[in-house]
Amino acid sequence: MTTVMHYDKSKSQVLRKVSQVPSVLALAQTAPDANRFGESFRILLRWKGSIYKFIWRDLLVYYFLFYLLSILHSVLDDDGKKTFQALAKYCLKNSNSINLMIMLTFFTTTAMQRLFSMQTTIPGTAKVITCFIMSIKPNLLEGPIIVEQFARWTVLAWILTFRVVCKPLRTMFPDMISLQVAGIIREKERVILERVETEGNKTPRALVVIDWMLLLLKETAIHNRFAEKSNHLKVIEILMTFKKSCGNTIKFATKNIPYALIQAAIIVVYAYGLVTLMARNFEEAGSSGFLEGIVNYFPVIPSMQFFIFLIWLNFGRTAVNPFGTDEEDINVKLLLETHIQDSFRLANLYTQDLDQIFGIMPQQPYNEASLLQNTIPVLK
C-alpha cells in the first residue's frame, strides 16, 4: 500500500509538511490568551478565517445598492420623490417588526447540535488496527500479510465512509480506479465493490469492506492465530464500534437539515437587508438639518444590524456542511493522510521490538531469563 500523497525531500517541502502535522496545527490554532493586553484588537484585525472574509462581498453589494437608491431618489421628480419617501417610511416603520432572532436561533442551534454529534462520532482507525495487531500471536510467518490486509481495509472503509459526506474527498477519489491507483485497494477488491452497486445492493461500500474484516477475524480465529481465544471477541467488539461510527457518518449525509429550513433562514435575512436599504427618515432630515441627512446617507446602524444577522446565518450554514473547502471546515484530506501514515506505523509494530529502536534495553537480561523459564517446562 502506497501513500496517497507523494512528498519531495527538499527542505521547503519538509517544512510545509511539518506545518501540517496535527499537533502543530493544534498549537497554532489554540485560542489566544484573553488576559493579554490588546489581544481582543488583534483578534478583530485577523483576516484568515474572519467574519470579514465571509461577508465583504455582501458588504460591497449592500452599499452599492444603497447609494444607487440614493442617486435614484435625487433624480426623481417631486411626485416620484414623494412615492420614494412614502416607501422608505413604510420600510423604516416595519424594519424592526421582522423577528429574525427566533428563526436564526432555531437554525443555528439545529446546525450546531448536528455538527457536535457528528464530531463525536467521527470514526478513527488507530484503535481497530492496534487492537488487532496486539491480539494475534507474534512471529507468525503470515502475520505481516494479515496485519497489512486488516490495516489497509480499515483505511479503505474510512475513505469510503467519508466519500459520502465530503466533496473534496470525492474529488480526490472520484471512482474505485483512483483508489486502486493510490494503492489503497486491489484489483479484485475493486471489481467486487463495483459489482455491489451494479447488482442493486444498497449496502454502503464501507460496510461491505467491514464485512471483509469480520471474515478475516473469523479466519484468524479458526486457524488459531489469536494469542488468546477471548481476543477474538474483543477485536470484534471494537470493530463493530468502528462500524457504528461509519454508519452514523453516512447517516449524516443522508439525513441532512431540510433545505426548506435553510432557504427560510436565507430568505428572511436577505429580506431584512432589502428592507433596511429603503429604511430612511426623510422627514427628520428635512426638518432637523444637515446631520440627520448625513445619517440617512451613511447607513451604519441599519447595515450593522443586517450584517450581524448575515454573520449568524453564515455561521449556521458552515455548520451544515463541515466537510467543505472553507478554512473553518474539517480538513478530511489531512485526516486521511494521518490515517494512512498511522496504518503504516502500526502495521510495522508487529515485526518490531524495542531493541530495534533503542538497542539493548536495561530489561534485556530479565527478558531472556523469563523466556528461559518458559521453555524449561516444555523441555521436561
In a domain, 46, yes or no: no
Same domain, 278 and 305: yes
Tell me: pLDDT of 19 over 60.
no
Are 199 and 134 contained in the same domain?
A: yes
Segments in 321-379 forming alpha helices (H): 332-348, 354-358, 364-379
What integer is the mean pLDDT of 77-92?
84
Asked, for residue 190, whether it belongs to a domain, the answer is: yes
What single string gives the DSSP state of each residue in 259-328?
Answer: HHHHHHHHHHHHHHHHHHHH---HHHHHHH-HHHHHHHHS-HHHHHHHHHHHHHHHHHHHHH-TTSSSTT
Asked whether residue 136 carries a pLDDT value surpassing 50, the answer given is: yes
Share of the chain above pLDDT 70, in %: 76
> Is the pLDDT assigned to residue 59 strictly greater than 60?
yes
Distance CA 302, CA 203 (A): 52
pLDDT at 29 over 70: no
pLDDT band at 5 (very low <50, low <70, confident <90, very high): very low
**Same-domain check for residues 134 and 247:** yes
| Residue 83 counted as domain residue | yes
Residue 6 in any domain: the answer is no
Asked if the structure places residue 100 within a domain, the reply is: yes
Q: Does the pLDDT of residue 289 top 80, yes or no?
A: no
Where is average pLDDT lowest: 40-44, 138-142, 230-234, 314-318? 40-44
Tell me what pLDDT residue 379 has. 44
Q: How far is CA 253 from CA 42, 84, 164, 213, 218, in A?
A: 37, 47, 7, 24, 31
| Enclosing domain of residue 155 | 124-256+331-352
Average pLDDT estimate for 131-155: 93
Whether residues 221 and 345 fall in one domain: yes
Do 335 and 194 lie in a common domain?
A: yes
Question: Would you say residue 67 lies in a domain?
Answer: yes
Is 313 domain-assigned?
A: yes
**Nine cell digits for residue 69:** 437608491
- pLDDT of residue 4 exceeding 50, the answer is no
**What's the structural domain count of the chain?**
2
pTM: predicted TM-score of the whole model, two decimal places = 0.71
Mean pLDDT of 326-345: 81
- Domain match, 193 and 246 both: yes
Cα distance between residue 1 and residue 129, in whole Å: 15
- Inter-residue contact 55 to 317 (CB < 8 Å): no
Say how many CA atoms lie within 13 Å of 204 toward its Cβ: 23
pLDDT greater at residue 188 or residue 304:
188
137 and 218 belong to one structural domain = yes
Residue 375, domain member (yes or no): no
Q: Are 211 and 295 in a shared domain?
A: no
